Homo-oligomer: A and B are copies of this chain.
């Protein structure tokens, strides 16, 4: 199993070893724009959380290349089973920032009706499957979707994202094993950011690399510089091509770094030396991509500023829009549990509605929600 790190741009200590993928300038700039937008969203959302305007957030800071570069290698018909740290995938696939923000606010415009914590998105229109908190579950589901694609003889792939910690989960094992046995067109992307909350990589596995785990499932495993968006794209593109022609799954390990805390609830300084972040700051995926684009004369300073301005504007408008919307109606709580409500639910809702109407529930608590 080759442990060579795939690199397009090269980095201090890592020589470039892979040619740049053949992407049109507008494709490259679109990837760049989404990376910048993701970064700016991240920054603003963390602030909104600190201001108490949204309840929770999970920063993707430093991992933009890892998830956006991989997703860029897909077509619109491919299915995505992401983790909570991959907001850029939805943006790349055309979802507006405002839709993400409605979800973060858990308001009535959020089409998932404020049922999940922030960043647990779901967008069927772009084949992005509902994100859940339990670690690893999406991995086995992605394998199943890929099996279904193969059964139906459709040339699509399923891609799934998870962290280094998630490789310890039951469903990492089940998902890769099923995909291996059924030669399903599934791409497994392990975003190895060095940490699972406070547990560092060496506390997670004694394996030399995450990519090496692929052998246990009879599939190729590749390691790629996760902060090199072109390398990430190239590795995924190759895996997708293999999968589409029936050559089965691939495990891709993107080597990256979680620059922030685990989430807005976490204070990383309690368990890790902030100095290590400085090293990784020099490998910032956006800075590196910008330098590369500039080197190739594909991005000018003014253009870059225009991209940023446009993103900031979109963000500002999105926040304004999301804050205008009130919470979902209480009645929606009983919807979508089943296709049709049970008599028990009907009865519970009738009682609750009556109590709310009569105002007998504790003051100040429920006033804010429409029935």
The answer to whether B218 and A207 have CB atoms under 8 Å apart is yes
| A201-235 vs B, Cβ < 8 Å mask (1 yes, 0 no) | 01111111000110111110000000000000000
The answer to whether A180 and B205 have CB atoms under 8 Å apart is yes
Chain B contacts of A170 at CB under 8 A?
170, 173-174
Chain B contacts of A168 at CB under 8 A?
173-174, 177
- Pick the contact of A181: B204, B212, B216 (CB < 8 A): B204
- Is A121 positioned at the interface, with any CB of B under 8 Å from its CB? no
CA distance A273 to B219 in the complex (A): 29
For chain A, the count of residues having a C-beta within 8 Å of the partner chain is 25
CA distance A218 to B203 in the complex (A): 12
Chain B contacts of A173 at CB under 8 A?
168, 170, 172-173
Question: Which partner residue on chain B sits nearest A249 by CB separation?
Answer: B206
Chain B contacts of A89 at CB under 8 A?
none
Chain B contacts of A212 at CB under 8 A?
215-216
- Is A183 positioned at the interface, with any CB of B under 8 Å from its CB? yes
CA distance A172 to B174 in the complex (A): 11
Chain B contacts of A205 at CB under 8 A?
177, 180-181, 216-218
Question: Which partner residue on chain B sits nearest A208 by CB separation?
Answer: B218
Chain B contacts of A203 at CB under 8 A?
181
Question: Which partner residue on chain B sits nearest A182 by CB separation?
Answer: B206
Chain B contacts of A177 at CB under 8 A?
168, 205-206
Question: Which partner residue on chain B sits nearest A218 by CB separation?
Answer: B206
| A148-189 vs B, Cβ < 8 Å mask (1 yes, 0 no) | 000000000000000000001010111001001101000000
Chain B contacts of A172 at CB under 8 A?
173
CA distance A181 to B201 in the complex (A): 10
Enumerate A117-145 residues with CB–CB distance to B below 8 Å: none
The answer to whether A215 and B215 have CB atoms under 8 Å apart is yes
The answer to whether B213 and A216 have CB atoms under 8 Å apart is yes
Interface residues in chain A, defined as those with a beta carbon under 8 Å from any beta carbon in chain B: 1, 168, 170, 172-174, 177, 180-181, 183, 202-208, 212-213, 215-219, 248
In addition to A168-B174, A170-B173, A215-B216, 11 A-B residue pairs with Cβ atoms within 8 Å of each other are A1-B215, A168-B173, A205-B217, A206-B248, A207-B215, A207-B216, A207-B218, A208-B215, A213-B215, A213-B216, A215-B215
